[in-house]
Amino acid sequence: MMNQSWVQIRENLEATVGKNNYVNWIEPLELSGLDNGVAVFRVPTNFMGNWVSRNFGDDIVQLLKSSGEAVSRLEFSVGAVRSVKRAPVAAKLPTSEAKAVSSPAVQKSAAQAVPGAPLDARFTFDSFVVGKPNELAHAAARRVAEGGEVAFNPLFLYGGVGLGKTHLMHAIANQLRTQRPDLNVVYLSAEQFMYKFVQALRDKKMMDFKQLFRAVDILMVDDVQFIAGKGSTQEEFFHTFNALVDQNKQIIISADRAPGEIKELEDRIRSRMQSGLVVDLHPTDYELRLGILQHKVEQHLIRDSSLVIADGVLEFLAHRISTNVRVLEGALTRLFAFGSLVGREITLDLAQDCLADVLRSSDRKITVDEIQRKVSEHYNIRLSEMIGPRRVRNIARPRQVAMYLAKQLTTRSLPDIGRRFGGRDHTTVMHGVKRIEELRVTDSQLEDDLELLRRALEA
């Protein structure tokens, strides 16, 4: 029953992720269980599990759900996969990832059995877009990545989900592993730390465990809030932490909140965490979101130059998807896949269709009313004139601006927008939107007005 639906879902996935992705990442997955809302897949390598989870996890969950399975998340367990009939995955990777998998640094740590987690080769400083909300965290991460004298210990990065904590940590590790191969850099999640610790206890290998961690030059522990309340793990972490700090080794820690706000964290641990540099990643702002989108599109264009995205689409997404970056990326990934399927320019309309669910759930609820009011104020006309019948230019133009913004910033249909502008026809709205789209290209004053209004509405 379950496997049958997986077979069908796999086929659907092929349509959304594309043939290549399907063959490389989806086909080798083996659904090994479904329990308590968790779908467990067997994968040949850890790296592959991470990759699939990061890139296709949401799609898989969605499809499982829509086929009637009560699934809320995925897990990947590494083990022999029964039905692989293909070459090893690494051989199929794009070169940069393939390198990461077999890089000397990784081999070295494997040889010493230092319990680190694999790094995502895409998480580099180059691919990290810097804006006001994250510039401090970025600067601190850069400094640590130089591998010079330990300036602050620990570096404690915190912030909400999907704001780039893990990305920055991997960027540090990736840079250090290439530029300072002499250093023993270990990155792992607090959960993995606990797992290794429990395993060592069970196998009576605590001495080895301690020795391994004490031999690390730079230790990064991600999502440290996880160990709060976990008594002996917390204790062991504290000892590891102290031993490394005493040896002047760099420690980098991330959490989803400030040290002072992590409940059930022992006081002495909390104060050690606070003793270095504590920086937070603020929620993204419009500029940063737009920057990230533009960066990702540029990256995508290097691989697939056939992609064409209409003006205004990225701005629309940056404006409307204000949750975390992961959601933003997911939206873009879907757009890319969609674009390659339909094989034509991704217009605002197509984007809205394709992302209707995402847009709904992160709806900012800007109303047409609000837009009309702001635009009237801005151009110094009356609200009644905006909605009224007069067609003189100094009223008609602001009206078109408001129609354009209504189309961009709300999910209202053209007929719906028409109704709110004194019962105008949808073709009138369409004409207005087109006109502004044309004009904004050449008229920089108009472009500025639009930007200003958008910001005012977004605030």
DSSP category for residue 381: -
Q: How many residues bind ligand ADP (CB under 6 A)?
A: 17
CA distances from 395 to 80, 382, 398, 427 (A): 70, 9, 6, 18
Q: How far is the CB of 371 from ligand ADP (least distance, A)?
A: 29
Closest approach of ligand ADP to the CB of residue 314, in Å: 14
Residue 134 Cβ vs Mg ion, minimum distance, rounded to whole Å: 14
Phi, psi of 112 (to 5 degrees): -85, -5
User: In this complex, which beta carbon is closest to ligand ADP, that of residue 162 or of residue 312?
Assistant: 162
Stretch of residues binding Mg ion (CB under 5 A), selected from 76-84, 159-167, 269-277, 316-324: 159-167
Question: CB–CB of 89/44 below 8 Å?
Answer: yes
Residue 24 CB, shortest distance to Mg ion, in Å, is 24
Q: Does 409 bind ligand ADP (CB under 6 A)?
A: no
26, 163, 273, 321: which one binds ligand ADP (CB under 6 A): 163
Rounded Cα distance, 398 and 331, in Å:
31
Which residues are registered as beta bridge partners of 41? 31, 76
Among 164, 259, 330, 339, binds ligand ADP (CB under 6 A): 164
* Min CB(171)–ligand ADP separation in Å: 9
Residue 166 is a binding residue for ligand ADP (CB under 6 A): yes
Could you say which of 24, 166, 184, 189 contacts Mg ion (CB under 5 A)? 166
Identify the three-state secondary structure at position 44: coil
Q: Rule CB under 6 A: say whether 121 interacts with ligand ADP.
A: no
Q: Which of 64, 129, 244, 350 binds ligand ADP (CB under 6 A)?
A: 129
329, interface contact from Mg ion, ligand ADP, none, CB < 5-8 Å by kind: ligand ADP
Whether the Cβ atoms of residue 131 and residue 287 lie closer than 8 Å to each other = yes
**CA 375/CA 223 separation, integer angstroms:** 44
State which residue, 165 or 454, has the beta carbon closest to Mg ion. Answer: 165
Distance CA(319)–CA(125), nearest Å, equals 25
Amino acid occupying residue 405: L
> In terms of CB distance, is 29 or 141 closer to ligand ADP?
141
- Whether the Cβ atoms of residue 176 and residue 106 lie closer than 8 Å to each other: no
**225: contact with Mg ion by CB under 5 A:** no
Residue nearer to Mg ion on the CB measure, 224 or 405: 224
Residue of the chain from 141, 292, 293, 401 that contacts ligand ADP (CB under 6 A): 292
Comparing CB distances to Mg ion, the nearer of 84 and 130 is 130
CB of 328 or CB of 386, closer to ligand ADP: 328
- Taking the C-alpha atoms of residue 195 and residue 211, their distance in angstroms, rounded to an integer, is 17
Binding characters for ligand ADP, 336-365, by CB under 6 A (x = yes): ------------------------------
Site string for Mg ion, 111-150 (x = CB under 5 A): ----------------------------------------
Contacts (CB under 6 A) with ligand ADP, residues 298-337: 325-326, 329
Question: Which 8-state DSSP code applies to residue 71?
Answer: -
- What is the rounded CA–CA span in Å between residue 135 and residue 109? 31
Q: Counting Cβ atoms within 10 Å, is residue 373 exposed (0-12), middle (13-18) or buried (19+)?
A: middle
- DSSP code per residue over 255-290: ESS-GGG-TT--HHHHHHHTTSEEEEEPPP-HHHHH
Residue 189 touches Mg ion, criterion: CB under 5 A? no
Sign, CA torsion 15/17/23/29: negative
Residue 58 as a binder of ligand ADP (CB under 6 A): the answer is: no
Residues 6+ apart with CB under 8 A from 277: 140, 151, 152, 154, 155, 156
26 neighbors 10 (Cβ within 8 angstroms)? yes
Instruction: Give the nearest distance from C-beta 262 to ligand ADP in angstroms.
Output: 15
What's the min distance (Å) between Cβ of 54 and ligand ADP?
Answer: 7
Would you state the structure tokens that stand for residue 269, as one six-digit string? 């641990």
Judged by the rule CB under 6 A, the positions of this chain that interact with ligand ADP are: 123, 127-129, 134, 159, 161-167, 292, 325-326, 329
Judged by the rule CB under 5 A, the positions of this chain that interact with Mg ion are: 165-166
